[in-house]
Chains A and B, each alone.
Chain A
Amino acid sequence: MTDSKTSPLDRAVEAVARSTHSKLVKRVTGLSDRMVAWLFIGPTMLLLLAINIFPLFWAIGLSFTNYRANRPNEPVEGVGLRNYERILTDPDIWIAMQTTANFVFWTILLQTVIGFGLAYLIDRKFRGHAFWTTIILVPMMLSPAVVGNFWRFLYEPQIGLFAYAVSFVSGIPPTEIEMLSNVALAPWSIIIVDTWMWSPYVMLICLAGLRSIPDYIYEAAEVDRASPIRQFLSITLPMALPFIMLAILFRGIENFKMFDMVNLLTGGGPGSTTEVASITLKREAFEKWRTGYSSAFAIILFVAVFGLANIYVKALNRVKQR
């Protein structure tokens, strides 16, 4: 019926259209799974190559030179391993590394204790626990930079809420609570904000761990009349340990890289008491413009995180297998 209406030309066009269509279909269907795999994975790999790997190699190249990014026209000389030599023998760098280690140690200790404690309590499943869990989670969703910046206001000696609350509890006059400018207190000002923000994260991972412990183990323990403390020490803690260690790994890597909060709260000061590695790196790279030197430092930092994380993951796997 339709044939009688259409002209031979129309029919020919249609035939061609149909054949190209089927050719196309065949070409698409003809994609072997291998090709589809590369088609799917390829773009991501290309992007990572361009934005992560290529710059990394560039930085490795620069780390052997005396290049300065603010003087692009000056001749660049290769200096061999001198940058690395100078970094590893520079006492200031070692002080920055110590500051970083100190910061990582205390934040992890506090966050693990608070985070696990919170998870343990929430696991009691009291009425309304879901609502309060959401409230507790809010700080970790927010921008560390923007919220950290506001903590400067809370830390103000006289007018700040933090100093006021502390003096209210302890009786110390609020003008003496100089969290950001006192050499002894400045590191703690950062540790407190970081713990406030990230304990909920540790809590979530621990909660996943606690929920993964099957009920029948506790039931068996109950049958054996194990005391609650004994149950906690020989069931809860060991079974949640891989999760706790995982949380420590993530927080450790993050805090080793810590930049935004420190930069806004203290900027590394007073003096250099809170100058963590990232702040030193930023000063060398974007204030003193010693690009070659700072590239070498960046590589050293990367190797350090990567190496430590690998050793840690091995330990973690051993714990998991137990």
Chain B
Amino acid sequence: MSLTTAHSVVVPSTTSKRIAAVLIIAYALISIVPLLWIFATSFKTPPDSIAYPPKILFQPSTEGYCNLFTTRTRQTAEYIASLPPATSFCDEVTRKRNMVIAGPSNFLPRFVNSLIIAFGSTFCAVFLGTLAAYGFSRFKVPLADDLLFFILSTRMMPPIAVAIPIYLMYRELGLSDSALGMILLYTAVNVSLAVWLLKGFIDEIPREYEEAAMIDGYTRLQAFWKVVLPQATTGIAATAIFCLIFAWNEYAFAALLTSGTAQTAPPFIPTIIGEGGQDWPAVAAGTTVFLVPILVFTILLRKQLLRGITFGAVRK
């Protein structure tokens, strides 16, 4: 009997496995090419980056990164010759192009804004979301289903539609172009997702744990803090990653509501231009620096991520 069931559909045949493997690997390799190209371009010199045919092998250079972090001005050859010898690699490269470094660019402050706004809003969204999810999970809240649907429906609004009244409101409150305003906005957008995801995770934790703790003399809050939260850490981590990815990647609100001091990296990177159009190595360098944190997150926490995505889908 064991011989006849050995060839079951549940265990796919070797041939079908091989075909599947070839197709999947081919797709994965093709889909990763644009990212590899971004990475490669960031180490090209501007002439190399716009060569035809596109250069696959090239002499790596950090000129793109130099251009990303600095602003430069064109100078006469005599002026450059009169300067003391270049102190750094970036100095040298810039002078070869008949330019001198004028100062740091806006990239670093924009990147720091991204960090502050993304982490700040993620913390707030997960904090509020955990509380609300526990509330919805454990108590009979009047109209709970309607409230939950309402929370979710706020995500259906096109960001531009939300941005119009938010723009006016922030102008009245003096929150325009401020990190606080962006943190509040991203928290509001993320909290809906956080409540939904976390409610699923908390629903899975047996009530009996808290009830036992409360019989032992814990208050409701203590039981929540000492019994439920430690059990929910995986779920909280997964939710936090989702919120972080959203806030880190967000463009529409950032482009419309910030312009200067609170501008994040996504609206800034497309505006990096050199002489005569977009400075592609610098854009690629900025993109690489911007993508690395998310890539690291994705690879380190892929298990939680997978669970979060599929879980969020299965629940609704």
Are the CB atoms of A291 and B132 closer together than 8 Å?
A: no
Are the CB atoms of A134 and B160 closer together than 8 Å?
A: no
By beta carbon, the residue of chain A nearest B194 is A44
Are the CB atoms of B32 and A138 closer together than 8 Å?
A: yes
A254-281: contact bitstring with B at CB < 8 Å (1 yes, 0 no)? 0011011001100000000000011001
Q: How far is the CA of A263 from the CA of B267 in the complex (A)?
A: 11
Are the CB atoms of B159 and A257 closer together than 8 Å?
A: yes
Which residues from B are CB-within-8-Å of A3? none
By beta carbon, the residue of chain B nearest A141 is B298
| Interface assignment of A219: CB less than 8 Å from any CB of chain B | yes
Q: How far is the CA of A282 from the CA of B159 in the complex (A)?
A: 10
A82 to chain B, nearest CB (A): 18
Which residues from A are CB-within-8-Å of B306? 204
| Interface assignment of A33: CB less than 8 Å from any CB of chain B | yes
Q: How far is the CA of A250 from the CA of B156 in the complex (A)?
A: 10
| Interface assignment of A88: CB less than 8 Å from any CB of chain B | no
Q: Given A137-B302, A151-B34, A243-B313: A43 and B128 within 8 A (CB)?
A: yes
| Interface assignment of A34: CB less than 8 Å from any CB of chain B | yes
| Interface assignment of B151: CB less than 8 Å from any CB of chain A | yes
A201-214: contact bitstring with B at CB < 8 Å (1 yes, 0 no)? 10011011000100
| Interface assignment of B84: CB less than 8 Å from any CB of chain A | no
Cβ contact of A221, chosen from B9, B167, B291, cutoff 8 A:
B9
A253 to chain B, nearest CB (A): 6
Are the CB atoms of B165 and A56 closer together than 8 Å?
A: yes
Cβ contact of A37, chosen from B9, B20, B41, B141, cutoff 8 A:
B141
A14 to chain B, nearest CB (A): 23
Are the CB atoms of A47 and B221 closer together than 8 Å?
A: no
Q: Given A40-B132, A59-B161, A222-B8: A205 and B309 within 8 A (CB)?
A: yes
B144-172: contact bitstring with A at CB < 8 Å (1 yes, 0 no)? 00010011011111111111111111010
How many chain B residues touch the partner (CB < 8 A)? 103
Q: How far is the CA of A176 from the CA of B306 in the complex (A)?
A: 41
Which residues of A are in contact with B by a Cβ distance under 8 Å? 25, 28-29, 31, 33-34, 36-41, 43-45, 47-48, 50-52, 54-56, 58-59, 62, 69, 118, 121-122, 124-129, 132, 134-139, 141-147, 149-154, 158-161, 164, 174, 196, 200-201, 204-205, 207-208, 212, 215, 218-219, 221-222, 228, 231, 243, 246-247, 250, 253, 256-257, 259-260, 263-264, 277-278, 281-282, 285-286, 291, 294-295, 298-299, 301-302, 305-306, 309
Cβ contact of A146, chosen from B132, B184, B266, cutoff 8 A:
B266
Are the CB atoms of B35 and A259 closer together than 8 Å?
A: no
Are the CB atoms of A40 and B131 closer together than 8 Å?
A: yes
Are the CB atoms of B316 and A143 closer together than 8 Å?
A: no
